[in-house]
Structure 1
Amino acid sequence: MRSFRPLSAIALACVVLTTACGAEIQEASKNAAGGSVTVTNCGAPLTVDGVPERVVTNDTGITEMMLALGLTDRLVGYTSYPGKERDIATSPWRAEFERVPPLGDAFTREVVQAAAPDFVFAGWNYGFKESTGLTPDWVRSIGAVPYQLTEACRQPGTTRRGVMEPLDALYADLLNLGEIFDVRAKADQLVAQYRAQVAEAAEGAPAGKDPARVFLFDSATPEPFTSGRTAAPSQIIRKAGGTNIFDDLNDSWTTTSWEAAAQRDPQAIVVVDYGAGPQNSVQAKIDQLRAQPLMAGTTAVREDNIIALPYAALVESPRNPRAVVTVAGFLRSKGY
């Protein structure tokens, strides 16, 4: 049974100033009999009756949100992608991962239904896809509650993703999960800690200098896949004192062109470390950048201003604040 607790000062500020904090927690309808709670998820009310007990997640960053909130025992399994071992090996919650059953690399109807969940946490292109039929509506059809990753919320009337600043999306999800799983105090603590961490990193940017131009390089098949304004790397870079060269793209993770990337002459490059096989290693991606005729002449490649971060640090996850600190330290070391 849920007990009602007054909102902390941080939580109250986030309820009142939703555009600043990103979280929009509705007045929850809690009672001794039902223990229901209503939050806002992707712009719509989501009501959950009782604390979920059997949770399935997709992707390492999403799973780490549950682990960071101390909800390991609620997880009956997670799916991820080939190469996820790199994320788990570097995870602050590595020990907790060992306690959660891995459900393989395929987030499918069959896998999800076999786990008999009452709550499924994924996002558009982070598991939810019309092409596979595994959508929030389908999750409801099997009697479970679908929760959508806020970074991947679709913009109204489009399939473009991202409806708020990426770090605000992280805070919104943590606060929502805190309400749903009755661990609001822990959620408040994490959000306050993360905000302070990001603020400290942002204060270290040198005054009187233009922000370093930074290119986020995920992969190329054959055109580069990168971060637009509404994906986590864009705000990570911005808070670290740089500027994402594709911050003008009103989308999340998206494909662009080598011509566009080279024309913007990045001064630093952040490589996403993920993928199975040697062809997807960090070194392979760096070699690809050096071999690409247009990119070879950019400042970042010529001066070897390249850093790699784990995939789970660059999608929405509780690793994002530490990623800000890491990127900030890297830019300072290069004189930016």
Structure 2
Amino acid sequence: MRKLLAASLCLLVTVTATGCGATVESSGKAGASGRAGTSAVTLTNCGRDVTYDEVPQRVVTNDVGITELMFALGLEDRMAGFAMPDDRGDVTDLPWKASYDKVRWLSEGQLTKENVLDARADFVFAGWNYGFGEDTGLTPDTLETLGIPSYLLTESCRNGRTDTSRGIMPPLDALYTDLGNLGKLFGVEKRADALISEFKRQVADVRAKAPQGADRPTVFLYDSGETQPFTSGRYAGPDQIISEAGGVNITHDVEDSWTTVGWESVVQRDPEVIVVCDYGDVSAEQKKEFLLSHAPLRDVSAVKHRRIFTLDYADLVESPRNPSAVAALGAYLRDVAGRR
């Protein structure tokens, strides 16, 4: 993906490399991943206890964030492939270029049952609106009928408020939950614990320097959309990335993850900063030009002062790049607060 803060990437690479090749303790017969090959593991996933009878050997993932969670844990040798749209930028950039080179890119479109079967997958790691959806016919239930277990990205867990609303915990807690669960499933608990500890330290370092109280800038996350903006409620990654960086997400009260709102509410809440999510056929620069020229926004503080900051898609969905995004946005918000 596009460039992030070099220092944060170096920290991430260091932690990941420390885990790679490490010997992980296990009981019983040692499986290829470090955990006992035939011992069952029960994990809590989206509020349900799910038992996995064996260590997955041919994992298929959907999208960049989910795929890089596997890479961050050094599990590329357990992967049979990934599906990822071709609008996600340069996925061969640091810190996982070597991992991408090793794993088969199954599809540049939507993950399908055919992709899964073609890869001879024994496990699918995806999420609601991250590969799974009733409209596509690919769901955990349909995979179960094929004898293929799955794991749902915690950011995407449905919360029951509506049929499709998502999110059951703060976004970074979702990241730590998935790293911990994957660590247990694949027998790489020490690697997972090291990543979680380092990520928490990085975030705490930013939080300690972040603006406080009334000095915290208000922030709107703009993903896409002209008639209605697609943005982040309280359960998508940007909400906590913004708050840990020292800002206030103006759509924090929306009890969903990625969702649409009305321009009227954006204007009424008058954000001081707009964060643009960079991906897709419309470039970040084109999105910025739209925001600056969109008549209803002309009196919004962020537009009047041209305070528009860009983060990559992989920074903002649940992924091991979230702590680096907190650091990058934190530096920007400190500058904004200091210039008032």
Change (3 A) 1:82 1:221: farther
TM-score by length of 2: 0.87
Give the equivalent residue in structure 2 for 1:146. Answer: 150
Deviation of 1:87 after TM superposition, in Å, equals 4.7
Q: Which moved more, 1:65-74 or 1:90-99?
A: 90-99
Deviation of 1:115 after TM superposition, in Å, equals 0.9
Q: Which amino acid aligns with 2:333?
A: L
Give the equivalent residue in structure 2 for 1:302. Answer: 304
Contact residue 113 and residue 138 of structure 2 kept, 8 A:
yes
Q: How many residues align?
A: 307
Give the equivalent residue in structure 2 for 1:327. Answer: 329
Q: Which amino acid aligns with 1:268?
A: V
Give the equivalent residue in structure 1 for 2:20. Answer: none
Correspondence 1:137 to 2:157: no
Distance 1:91 1:32 in 2: 32
Deviation of 1:204 after TM superposition, in Å, equals 0.5
> After superposition, what is the alpha-carbon deviation per residue over 1:253-286, rounded to whole angstroms, capped at 9, x for unaligned?
000111111111111111001013xxx1001100
Deviation of 1:4 after TM superposition, in Å, equals 4.6
Candidates 46, 56, 62, aligned match of 2:50: 46
Correspondence 1:109 to 2:132: no
Deviation of 1:100 after TM superposition, in Å, equals 1.0
Give the equivalent residue in structure 1 for 2:179. Answer: 174
Deviation of 1:93 after TM superposition, in Å, equals 1.1
Distance 1:93 1:213 in 2: 33
Q: Percent identity?
A: 50
> After superposition, what is the alpha-carbon deviation per residue over 1:5-43, rounded to whole angstroms, capped at 9, x for unaligned?
9xxxxxxxxxxxxxxxxxxxxxxxxx9683111110000
Change (3 A) 1:47 1:304: same
> After superposition, what is the alpha-carbon deviation per residue over 1:122-151, rounded to whole angstroms, capped at 9, x for unaligned?
000011000111000111122211100000
Contact residue 218 and residue 271 of structure 1 kept, 8 A:
yes
Summarize the alignment of residues 193-232 of structure 1 with structure 2, pairs less than 5 Å apart: 193-207=198-212, 209-232=214-237
Q: Which amino acid aligns with 2:122?
A: D
Distance 1:208 1:53 in 2: 49
Distance 1:294 1:4 in 2: 62
Give the equivalent residue in structure 2 for 1:88. Answer: 91
SS at match of 1:3: coil
> After superposition, what is the alpha-carbon deviation per residue over 1:143-193, rounded to whole angstroms, capped at 9, x for unaligned?
211100000000036321000010000000000000001100000000000
Give the equivalent residue in structure 2 for 1:156. Answer: 160
Change (3 A) 1:33 1:240: closer
* Structure 2 residues not aligned, in runs of 5+: 1-23, 29-34
TM-score by length of 1: 0.88
CA RMSD across the alignment: 1.8
Distance 1:291 1:82 in 2: 28
* Structure 1 residues not aligned, in runs of 5+: 6-30
Deviation of 1:3 after TM superposition, in Å, equals 1.7
Distance 1:138 1:293 in 2: 46
SS at match of 2:215: coil
Contact residue 38 and residue 55 of structure 2 kept, 8 A:
no
Runs of 4 or more, structure 1, over 4 Å off, are none
> After superposition, what is the alpha-carbon deviation per residue over 1:205-258, rounded to whole angstroms, capped at 9, x for unaligned?
134533210000000142100000110100000001101000010000000111
Contact residue 223 and residue 256 of structure 1 kept, 8 A:
yes
Distance 1:33 1:93 in 2: 27
